[in-house]
Amino acid sequence: MLKRQRIVLGLLAQAAEPIPITKLMKLIFLLRHETVLQDLPSFYDFLPYRLGPFSFTLERELEALRDHEYVMILGERVALCDANADRSRGEVDLLPAATSAAVFRFFRRYGARGQTELASELFRRHPWYAPSGRFSESQSSSASLQRPMKAPPAVYTAGYEGTSVDAFFNRLLRRGIGCLVDVRANPVSRKYGFSKVRLSQLCERLGFEYRHVPSLGISSAARTGLTDFASYQRLLRRYESSTLLQRGVEVEELGRMMSRTPSVLVCVEKDVQCCHRSRLAEALANTTGLEMVHL
């Protein structure tokens, strides 16, 4: 079990009754941002969603904890599974003492607060995560939201290597991107959220348009033997002199779309210099006159 999952169980173990999932999201968010857990690289990331900060990764892992009978999901609430409470607490006992103490102190401070009070305090300190147009679920007052303007037309690119799906989408939301253009030839991933089916589903939930353009990708077979920067550059030169020349119609069509809608070319590699999206972006910039922006 992952450390972050044990932390979730540790919070639930202190609750006297099932916790609303929206409240749990806010509690985990505050743990992430306002305790020593901000230094835990693999902890949950968040993005603004319908009722405040939300983590698709946490949502998925709650379902996994339910499937393994660590927790019960009762409608919109979650609690430790009564039949396996001892097993859950055994996992919590494996947490480092400093982490356990931080979780205990945190819950003692925030656990008893109602949803409205907790939401108001959170959105006051982290207004980016406030639900659109409101300060709390009670709709008691308006929020001063930090929402970005729609991004100006440009050839945006982004790689998801080394980041969670929540942090990745949060980056795109902050920049005002409206369309995700998946330029992988084979859009599969062991990393949660980045396979084609799941990525397109998450785009729909967040209001992004999703487009897959496999003809502008590089096949898995062509990517074998990549061991260093020089081997990547040889591959990208072949891509530039073959695929891009042969796919001029697709490049022009994609360029027209990017001129109308703030769109981002998405692939795996964090280093854009080792990813074919860099050469595709150059071709699109030459075709459209748009600036290249690597996010």
d(CA 39, CA 71): 26
Of the given ranges (13-22, 91-100, 137-146, 183-192), which has the lowest mean pLDDT? 137-146
Q: Is 8 helix (H, G, I), strand (E, B) or coil?
A: helix
Does 139 score more than 80 pLDDT? no
Mean residue pLDDT of the chain comes to: 90
Domains along the chain?
3-129 (1.10.10), 155-294 (3.90.190)
d(CA 202, CA 167): 13
What whole-number percentage of the chain has pLDDT above 90?
77
Does 144 score more than 80 pLDDT? no
Using CA atoms, how far residue 78 sits from 18, 59, 74, 276, in Å, is 5, 11, 6, 44
Residues 71-99, mean pLDDT to the nearest whole number: 91
d(CA 81, CA 223): 46
pLDDT band at 227 (very low <50, low <70, confident <90, very high): confident
Give the length of the chain. 295
Residues 229-237, mean pLDDT to the nearest whole number: 91
pTM: predicted TM-score of the whole model, two decimal places? 0.89
- Residue 16: its pLDDT value, please? 86
Distance between alpha carbon 22 and the CA centroid of its chain, in Å?
17
- Residue 66: its pLDDT value, please? 95
What are the two backbone dihedrals, phi and then psi, of residue 212, each rounded to the nearest 5 degrees? -110, 125
Number of alpha helices (DSSP H) and beta strands (DSSP E) in the chain? 12, 10
- Residue 132: its pLDDT value, please? 58
Residues 30-50, mean pLDDT to the nearest whole number: 90
Please classify residue 201 by burial: count the beta carbons closer than 10 Å to its beta carbon, then call 0-12 exposed, 13-18 middle and 19+ buried. middle
Residues 195-212, mean pLDDT to the nearest whole number: 95
- Residue 82: its pLDDT value, please? 87
pLDDT tens-digit map of 246-294: 999 999 999 999 999 999 999 999 999 999 999 999 999 999 999 999 9
pLDDT band at 41 (very low <50, low <70, confident <90, very high): confident
Residues 174-195, mean pLDDT to the nearest whole number: 94
Please classify residue 30 by burial: count the beta carbons closer than 10 Å to its beta carbon, then call 0-12 exposed, 13-18 middle and 19+ buried. buried
- Residue 34: its pLDDT value, please? 87
pLDDT band at 138 (very low <50, low <70, confident <90, very high): very low
DSSP annotation of 17 reads S
Residues 2-24, mean pLDDT to the nearest whole number: 93
pLDDT band at 28 (very low <50, low <70, confident <90, very high): very high
- Residue 146: its pLDDT value, please? 55
Does 50 score more than 90 pLDDT? no
Residues 100-108, mean pLDDT to the nearest whole number: 91
Higher pLDDT: 38 or 200? It is: 200
d(CA 251, CA 81): 53
d(CA 193, CA 201): 9
d(CA 271, CA 278): 9
DSSP states of 166-219 as a string?
A: HHHHHHHHHHT--EEEE--SS---SSTT-SHHHHHHHHHHHT-EEEE-GGGS--
Residues 230-258, mean pLDDT to the nearest whole number: 92
